[in-house]
A and B are shown apart, each in its own frame.
Chain A
Amino acid sequence: MIGGRDIIIPTARGAEALDLAVRAVTRLWGPNVVLEDGVSGEGFRRYGDIDFAGRREILAFRDAESARLWDELGADPSLDGTLIHFLLSKGELTVAVDAEPSTQIASFVESLQRSLAQDLFASRVEFPTTEAA
């Protein structure tokens, strides 16, 4: 049985929406975040290394230990709050989170929804950060 919760955000911005989401999660979890292409497995050391053109999925793990544990334990309650999965499809950005997301992650998703509803990169929406949580 599939787990987690998906928040589907309508957007016509395509790869730019995925770009914004990944930029925001980098702010949320800081420099230790682990970013990977969910389809190819390509890993990125930092947000700036990612070419978003043609990309459909990005997995963002809170840190390297979380990424390791997801392979070892699978979807386990001990890993709640350590993974956000972004999937781009026609006219939508899907944000896959825990079934019962933490306040921090719920706030992050709400901020992302607001930001995507505004002019991209002109947005002044404040995203939560680890320090603010």
Chain B
Amino acid sequence: MMLHYTDVAGFKAIGSQMNWMFKAGRPPGGRPFGAYFTTLRPDAHRFSARTRIPKAKQDFVFSFNGQDGLEPMDGGKGEFIFLSQIDYTVVLDRQVFHGPTKELL
């Protein structure tokens, strides 16, 4: 299961579409341009420390099956962080859940 965490604005923008479109962007820290995903659930040990996702960006989550077109991040985080270097679309039949992250727990 692949997960994408976001804030309320991201949730509304992505969740309003039948096919979810995750926009690629430039993250901080010199990381590659891309749309980022993780296999870590929100209750994973030290989720915040391991992903360094800001708390506000953890409020909502999209989950989906499969990882076609996604590549593991370089280095050790490739075990649980994946990215697409272009906008990434998840069609309806791959979608599993979207909503407040606390409802995934």
* Residues of chain A whose beta carbon lies under 8 Å from any beta carbon of chain B: 1-6, 8, 36, 38-41, 56-57, 59, 61, 70-71, 73-76, 83, 85-89, 92-94, 96, 98-100
Contact = CB atoms under 8 A, between A and B. Distances in A.
Given A8-B74, A73-B55, A75-B54, A2 B48 contact: no
A93 B75 CA distance: 7
Contacts of B53: 1-3, 74-75
B77 A87 contact: yes
B50 A38 contact: yes
Residue among A4, A57, A59, A76 having the largest count of chain B Cβ atoms under 10 Å: A4
B66 interface: no
Interface stretch (B13-21, B28-36, B85-93): B28-36
A40 B45 contact: yes
Interface of B: 25, 27-31, 36, 38, 45-46, 48-58, 73-79, 81
A54 to B, nearest CB: 14
A2 B36 contact: yes
Given A4-B29, A36-B46, A96-B52, 20 more contacts: A1-B27, A2-B52, A2-B53, A3-B27, A3-B52, A4-B28, A4-B52, A6-B31, A8-B74, A38-B49, A40-B45, A61-B49, A74-B54, A75-B53, A75-B54, A89-B76, A89-B78, A96-B76, A96-B77, A98-B29
A88 B45 contact: no
B29 A8 contact: no
Nearest to A38: B50
B78 A3 contact: no
B88 to A, nearest CB: 13
Given A2-B36, A71-B46, A88 B76 contact: yes
B76 A1 contact: no
9 contacts: A3-B53, A5-B29, A5-B31, A39-B45, A59-B50, A74-B53, A75-B55, A94-B76, A96-B77
